[in-house]
C-alpha cells in the first residue's frame, strides 16, 4: 500500500540490455552470472523529481500541508536524537524544504505563485509521505526516491543502500591516483557491491572515455537501480553492471584490474539492532551486516584483490573506522604475502580513519 502511488507512472525508458564495450576485456563472452543480471534486475520506481507534474493543489491547501508538516517536524524535538541518534527537528525541517523542492515544478511554494500549483504527487500522497517520514522513520531519501551525492542525483529505493556522504571521498581518492598515472586511468576498474552505482558513476565521470568499470552487486534490486542510474548519467558505455557475489562475476578479468574500489557491508552483526531507525528498520541488512566483527567482506575482498589486480593496481576500501582500518592494514602488511605496498589510512571529512588504500606490487 505504501508504494501504491508509484504504480501507474511510466518508469523512464531504459534498455536493460547491457551493450558490449570497446574494451577488450569486456568484449569477451560474459560469464553466466553477469548475464543473469539481465533477467533478474528490476525496474526501479520513479523518483519524485523525475515524475511529470500531473497533480495540482491550491496555494492555500499546499500551505496548510506545509504548516502541518512543519509542526510535525517541530514536535519531534530531540526525541529521535535521544532515542537512537536520529534526526532532530532542524534536520527534518530542512528535509521538508527538499521535499517541496522535489515535488513542485518551481522548487518552492511562495505566495506570489498562481493559486494552483502543479505537483508531481497528489496532496493526499504528500500527507502520507510526511507521516511515513516522522511516524515510521522512513528515510527521507526513500520518500523522495533519490539522494544528492557529489554533484550527482542518484535514484534510490527500498532494498538499496542510500549512498553516504563519507563515501564521496572514495571517488576523490581514485581521481588523485589516476591524475598522474595513465596506466590506471586507461585501465579496467571494479566497484564491488555497487548499490545505487554511486562510486562507479563517480569514477565513470572521471575516467570517461579512457577507462572502463565493472560494477557488481549480489542484490537484484541494486543491479536494477544501478543500471538505471548508469543510463541516466549516460555512462552505459563506460560502466558494465554484473550481478553476483563478490569476485564470482569477475573470473574473466582475474589479474587484469587496474583498480578495485569497494564500500562493502562493514557493521558488526551485533550493532545492527541498535542502529538509527532510518538505517536499521529500512535499509537492507545485506548492505550493512559485515559479520561478527564487521570484517568478513572486507577481508574477503582484500584476499581476492591480490589475485584480481594487475601489478601496480590500486585498491581503496571504506571501513567502519580506525579499528577496522588498522586490522586491514595489519593484514595487508603481514599476512598478504608482501603483495601490497604503499598501504595508507585515509580519514573521512569528519576526521574518522575511514579508508584504506594500497597498491599491488
Partner 1 sequence: MVSVWKSFSVNLFGLLRVGTSNGVARLALPSSHPILSIRVRGEGSSKSTWSQQQLRDNRGSFFHIWCSKYGSISSTDTYVNGGDGDYRGKRYLELTDQELMRQCQLDTFKSSGPGGQHRNKRESAVRLKHLPTGIIAQAAEDRSQHMNRESALARLRTLLALKVRNTVDLDAYSPPKELLQILPAKSTIRGSDCGPQIGPKNPKFILGMQALLDLIFAVGGSISEAAKFLGLSTGALSRLILSDDSLRMVVNELRISKGLKPLK
Ligand X SMILES: C[S@@+](CC[C@H](N)C(=O)[O-])C[C@H]1O[C@@H](n2cnc3c(N)ncnc32)[C@H](O)[C@@H]1O
Where along the sequence are the contacts to partner 1 (CB under 8 A)? Answer: 85-87, 90-91, 94, 98, 139-141, 147-152, 161-162, 164-168, 263, 265-267, 271, 275-276, 278-279, 283, 287-288, 318-321, 348-352, 354
41 binds, among partner 1, ligand X, none (CB under 5 to 8 A by kind): none
187 vs 265, beta carbon nearer partner 1: 265
286 binds, among ligand X, partner 1, none (CB under 5 to 8 A by kind): ligand X
Provide the minimum distance between the beta carbon of 70 and partner 1 in the complex, in angstroms, as a whole number. Answer: 14
Q: Does 216 bind ligand X (CB under 6 A)?
A: yes
Q: Does 193 bind ligand X (CB under 6 A)?
A: yes
For 195-213, give one letter per residue: b (16+ CB within 10 A) or e.
bbbbbbbbbbbebeeebbb
DSSP assignment of 167-230, as one string?
GHHHHHHHHHHHHT-HHHHTSEEEEES-TTTHHHHHHHHHHTTS-EEEEEES-HHHHHHHHHHH
- Out of 263, 320, 324, 357, the only residue in the binding site for ligand X (CB under 6 A) is 263
Provide the minimum distance between the beta carbon of 223 and ligand X in the complex, in angstroms, as a whole number. Answer: 9
Phi/psi at 118 (nearest 5 deg)? -80, 135
227 binds, among ligand X, partner 1, none (CB under 5 to 8 A by kind): none
Residues 346/356, Cβ–Cβ less than 8 Å: yes
275 vs 306, beta carbon nearer partner 1: 275
C-alpha 280/C-alpha 275 separation (Å) is: 5
Cα 147 to chain centroid distance, Å, stands at 8
41 vs 104, beta carbon nearer ligand X: 41
C-alpha 248/C-alpha 31 separation (Å) is: 9
In three state form, how does the secondary structure of 90-135 look? HHHHHHHHHHHHHHECCCCCCCCCCCEEEECCCHHHHHHHHHHHHH
Q: Does 286 bind ligand X (CB under 6 A)?
A: yes
Q: Does 218 bind ligand X (CB under 6 A)?
A: yes
Binding mask of the shown chain, residues 86 to 125, with x at each position contacting ligand X by CB under 6 A:
----------------------------------------
Residues 280/306, Cβ–Cβ less than 8 Å: no
Provide the minimum distance between the beta carbon of 267 and partner 1 in the complex, in angstroms, as a whole number. Answer: 6
33 vs 181, beta carbon nearer ligand X: 33
65 vs 189, beta carbon nearer ligand X: 189
- Out of 48, 119, 144, 222, the only residue in the binding site for ligand X (CB under 6 A) is 222
DSSP assignment of 34-102, as one string?
HHHHHHH--PPPPPGGGS---EEEEHHHHHHHHHHHHHHHHHHTTHHHHHHS---HHHHHHHHHHHHHH
Q: Which residues bind ligand X (CB under 6 A)?
A: 161, 163, 167, 193-196, 198-199, 216-219, 222, 245-246, 263-265, 286-287
Amino acid at each position: 500500500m505504501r508504494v501504491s502511488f508509484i504504480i501507474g507512472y511510466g518508469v523512464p525508458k531504459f534498455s536493460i540490455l547491457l551493450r558490449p564495450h570497446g574494451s577488450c576485456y569486456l568484449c569477451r563472452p560474459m560469464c553466466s552470472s553477469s548475464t543473469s543480471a539481465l533477467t533478474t534486475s528490476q525496474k526501479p520506481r520513479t523518483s519524485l523529481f523525475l515524475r511529470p507534474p500531473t497533480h495540482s493543489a491550491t496555494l492555500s491547501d499546499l500551505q496548510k500541508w506545509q504548516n502541518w508538516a512543519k509542526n510535525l517536524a517541530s514536535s519531534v524535538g530531540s526525541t529521535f536524537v535521544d532515542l537512537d541518534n536520529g534526526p532532530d527537528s532542524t534536520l527534518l525541517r530542512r528535509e521538508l524544504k527538499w521535499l517541496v523542492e522535489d515535488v513542485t515544478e518551481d522548487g518552492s511554494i511562495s505566495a506570489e505563485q498562481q493559486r494552483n500549483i502543479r505537483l508531481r504527487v497528489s496532496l493526499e500522497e504528500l500527507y502520507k509521505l510526511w507521516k511515513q517520514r516522522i511516524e515510521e522513520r522512513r528515510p527521507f531519501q526513500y520518500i523522495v526516491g533519490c539522494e544528492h551525492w557529489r554533484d550527482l542525483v542518484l535514484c534510490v529505493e527500498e532494498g538499496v543502500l542510500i549512498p553516504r556522504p563519507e563515501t564521496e571521498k572514495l571517488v576523490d581518492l581514485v581521481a588523485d591516483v589516476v591524475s598522474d598515472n595513465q596506466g590506471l586511468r586507461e585501465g579496467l576498474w571494479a566497484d564491488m557491491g555497487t548499490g545505487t552505482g554511486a562510486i562507479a558513476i563517480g569514477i565513470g565521470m572521471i575516467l570517461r572515455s579512457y577507462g572502463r568499470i565493472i560494477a557488481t552487486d549480489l542484490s537484484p534490486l541494486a543491479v536494477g537501480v544501478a543500471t538505471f542510474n548508469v543510463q541516466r548519467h549516460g555512462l552505459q558505455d563506460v560502466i558494465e553492471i554484473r550481478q553476483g557475489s563478490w569476485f564470482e562475476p569477475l573470473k574473466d578479468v582475474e589479474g587484469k584490474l587496474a583498480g578495485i574500489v569497494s564500500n562493502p557491508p562493514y557493521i558488526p552483526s551485533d550493532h545492527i539492532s541498535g542502529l538509527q531507525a532510518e538505517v536499521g528498520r529500512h535499509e537492507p541488512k545485506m548492505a550493512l551486516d559485515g559479520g561478527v566483527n564487521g570484517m568478513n567482506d572486507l577481508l574477503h575482498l582484500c584476499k581476492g584483490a591480490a589475485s584480481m589486480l594487475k601489478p601496480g593496481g590500486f585498491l581503496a576500501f571504506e571501513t567502519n573506522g580506525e579499528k577496522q582500518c588498522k586490522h586491514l592494514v595489519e593484514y595487508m602488511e603481514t599476512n598478504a604475502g608482501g603483495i601490497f605496498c604503499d598501504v595508507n589510512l585515509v580519514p573521512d571529512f569528519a576526521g574518522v580513519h575511514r579508508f584504506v588504500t594500497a597498491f599491488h606490487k
